[in-house]
Amino acid sequence: MRRHNFRFDPQRLRMTVLDMAYAGSTVHLGCAFSIIEILAVLYRWHLRYPANNPNAVDRDYLVLSKGHGVMAQYACMHELGWLDDAAIKGYFSDGSALTGLSDSRVPGLEVTSGSLGHGFSVGVGLALASKRYNSGQKTYVVVGDGEINEGAIWEGALFAAHNSLKDFMVIVDENGFQAMGRTSDVMSLNSISRKFDAFGFETVTVDGHDQEALNQAIQSLQSSALETPKAVIARTIKGKGVSFMENDNSWHYTRLTKDTYRQALDCLERKSG
């Protein structure tokens, strides 16, 4: 297990996301907030970046398949020193390299994603290459629960299990919503864990905002003797951390105003204090 000497405090990360969204007048706040703890745990305890280099040849891979939540990853990259304050303040401005979807041209982002379902299969390919080269590199793919409506996810899952990709792990952000409504209304998923079990994954379900529980779940799967891919079903709250955003799907596409920015920041400051 790797521990980086960075804070990755969830409320601080959410403040950075809030600052970016306000500066860039952009959307996708709710889906960024729901994966904050997932990414914080991965970066703090599990991902390996030799010399803190996002381009290290022997690094582990983090694929944000739900690429519209990329502000959460940018916030972690800022903690690591890969992005400076100017990049955060200039988010989504003319000439900025930081856009509203994951873009592989930015060091630290492995995949250009946003066309949902595709990042999972890219991650499977990375895991297959790591196995063939016997490099010991881990591949973690973060997907949304709405995203797994896509058939490409299940084709990739079959391939991962068939090839015994034990160092491949998918983490499902099960926040119960997708762009146009509740996942249960758009296309009911029923038990996600049972689906991944049926596809040959070793699966654990956990509170996606409990960092210690997340860490233990990931650790237990990584130490398993089973030669199978892994799945963590992380039950989360869309908009987590800001009371008036939580479980309000309008914040998938709503932009901050001066007043709502101040209200959200006050909410996060009270919780961090």
* 273 has a pLDDT exceeding 70: no
Amino acid at 67: G
pLDDT surpassing 60 at residue 2: no
User: How high does pLDDT run on average in the chain?
Assistant: 96
Average pLDDT over residues 13-42: 98
In sequence order, the β-bridge partners of residue 139 are 61, 168
State which H helix or E strand residue 169 sits in: strand 168-174
List the alpha helices (DSSP H) in 81-210.
Answer: 85-89, 118-133, 151-162, 183-186, 192-198
User: Mean of the pLDDT values across residues 49-69?
Assistant: 98
Distance CA 48, CA 58 (A): 8
Residue 7 pLDDT level (bands cut at 50, 70, 90): confident
- Read off the pLDDT band of 1 (50, 70, 90): low
Break the chain into its structural domains and give their ranges: 10-272
The pLDDT tens digits for 187-239 are 999 999 999 999 999 999 999 999 999 999 999 999 999 999 999 999 999 99
- Distance from C-alpha of 9 to C-alpha of 224, rounded to nearest angstrom: 29
Task: Give the tens place of pLDDT for each residue, 78-105.
Answer: 999 999 999 999 999 999 999 999 999 9
pLDDT tens digits for 95-131? Answer: 999 999 999 999 999 999 989 999 999 999 999 999 9
SS (H, E, C) 70-82: HHHHHHHHHHHCC
At residue 5, the pLDDT reads 60
- At the top level of CATH, which class does the domain 10-272 belong to? alpha beta
pTM, to two decimals: 0.97
Task: Indicate left, alpha or beta for 25 from its phi (over 0: left) and psi (-120 to 50: alpha).
Answer: left
Structure confidence by residue, pLDDT tens digits, 146-172: 999 999 999 999 999 999 999 999 999
Contact status, residue 222 vs residue 138, Cβ threshold 8 Å: yes
pLDDT band at 3 (very low <50, low <70, confident <90, very high): low
